[in-house]
Structure 1
């Protein structure tokens, strides 16, 4: 069966690639792509018909689900990829990385899918192997950045070549992370306003926001280095302008990391502020209870003393004794208050 693997082998020089990439129905059925097209060089895509062919003049993009058994069989059997590239494209659990091969590069990136009212936003992993005229990408979960890239191709503002595809998908993934960070930052501002106005706050919500920031930082740190490495690699199909774009994306990642570090410090300061409010509120309550105890302590002593059931208590038979006792209690209470004020305890 004539397949792509017969035309673009990993270690072949570009001069050995024939003029036609025979991507036919047999190939499309065998790899079961989620999406397959060719870039027309003007920002749009050309769908690959079941009985159509793809030329090497227009880059081909195959987007696959790595959990699909047909995809697994095709990836394992194709000669387009080295054994390491096959393993990385099919591995379910991945960290962000970049690997250089003779004919191209393999990149694993992590992004976020923006989900309203969800903390943290779900993290998705995107893998792709890219050469000068071929892109093979795999995923399992739906990725928003891929959907946006397809929309750009439909609108005619998509990538014109493989280098532009790499830049646009990297930028879209970076933009999604930025949106997720902006949502978290807005939550931090709201929490700070609530703390300043001493409104209701939740340690659980603060913990969720902190977790989202930590996840985003762990996501961005290695990817910043990946974009730096790609921009410095001497790859024939990446020109100086493309390298500058990748370097700019790396700078954006560095900026996000700095902002995340700043937000983590703000959350720490917010926690200290909230703990201070709680301590102050607790101290006020304890102080008030102490004052009440000081006022009523002599009264308790008098009532306990006069409440003893013993004969011979002075003036127990007099009619005015109860009234006098009440006046004494009031006088002691007023005297205690005056004494506390003189000590500036009230």
Structure 2
């Protein structure tokens, strides 16, 4: 199963800022606080400001419009709960909504976490509601001096980490499907197996439904991003798109494998039910004439033969046994048994 995830960006402060970095253009970065970020201007060629914000914090919507002159519809998108993946160019800025798998405690793989992104080539904002590990991965790269060097590579780094993190959930599903396929269905609890397979299929469908639009959003970034998103960034995005396409293929395989396993479990369950019903029908067919015979001889009216004959009981028993043997012989001949 999946290993525990490292701590996410769930720190709460009195400001919307979760963390901020100023990229030095060489793979490193320095930390920056909220107050300093308000009036930030590039102090050296190649510097880029990255702010990771809680979009649910008070005043974020107004700050986007007043400090960065972001148009009202775009500002609303950046702080809204509309989480369907999309990306578009707005003048010289890039706006995107992306989704990552939720690795927070108690979450299921199909519970996606959204991240809004805005960049003008000099500043880049990422906004989230729920804790998200992807920005921390890129932050760790920067703090180690091997991170992105400009806004374009920062966007590609974020998308790469987000897509790579899907691999853990997909591998988990594939391994669970393989384990279930290797089990002896006859010896396992069919209901328990079926519930696990249904859960995998539901997760696969949810991931496929969410990741399909993400594929389109990444293609939009690679195709329509402004000029500051350089050619090597477009190649990196293309590689991420190819990886996402492969993950989507893996999800499709998991879904189809789950369907096949579900069909097999249901077919075996149906066969078992039909076999039980068949046996009950045979038993009923055997005892129906015997019941009729004993019922007829058991009526309490005058003139019943053998009432005063002590041998009559055994005659009836022998008659019932003879009828049963004749029935069994007929059933065998007709291949009912």
Length-normalised TM-score, structure 1: 0.81
State the SS of the aligned residue for 1:34.
strand
Residue 17 of structure 2: which of 28, 33, 42 is its match? Answer: 33
Distance change >3 Å, CA 211–CA 79, structure 1 → 2: same
Alpha-carbon distance in structure 1 between the residues aligned to 2:149 and 2:280: 75
Distance change >3 Å, CA 30–CA 282, structure 1 → 2: closer
1:225 aligns with 2:216: yes
Structure 1 unaligned segments of length 5 or more: list them: 1-28
C-alpha displacement of 1:288: 0.3
Q: Which residue does 1:85 correspond to in 2?
A: 74
Alpha-carbon distance in structure 2 between the residues aligned to 1:59 and 1:40: 7
Q: Which residue does 2:134 correspond to in 1?
A: 145
1:154-204 CA-to-partner distances (Å, cap 9, x unmatched) read 333322222221111101111122322222333433444458446223555
Matches within 5 A, 1:1-346: 32-48=16-32, 55-57=43-45, 58-115=47-104, 118-193=107-182, 196-197=185-186, 199-200=188-189, 201-202=191-192, 204-233=195-224, 235-346=226-337
C-alpha displacement of 1:314: 2.7
Alpha-carbon distance in structure 2 between the residues aligned to 1:241 and 1:198: 55
> Which segment is superposed worse, 189-198 or 208-217?
189-198
> Which segment is superposed worse, 312-321 or 133-142?
312-321
Alpha-carbon distance in structure 2 between the residues aligned to 1:40 and 1:162: 11
C-alpha displacement of 1:207: 4.0
1:256-309 CA-to-partner distances (Å, cap 9, x unmatched) read 223333333333333332332222111111110111112212221221121122
C-alpha displacement of 1:34: 1.3
1:111–1:123 contact (8 Å) kept in structure 2: yes
Structure 2 unaligned segments of length 5 or more: list them: 1-12
Root mean square deviation, CA, Å: 2.7
1:113–1:176 contact (8 Å) kept in structure 2: no
Alpha-carbon distance in structure 1 between the residues aligned to 2:330 and 2:14: 93
Alpha-carbon distance in structure 2 between the residues aligned to 1:255 and 1:59: 32
C-alpha displacement of 1:37: 1.2
Alpha-carbon distance in structure 1 between the residues aligned to 2:299 and 2:16: 96
1:113-153 CA-to-partner distances (Å, cap 9, x unmatched) read 22567434421111111232211121111112122222223
Distance change >3 Å, CA 88–CA 209, structure 1 → 2: same
Distance change >3 Å, CA 195–CA 259, structure 1 → 2: farther
State the SS of the aligned residue for 1:69.
coil
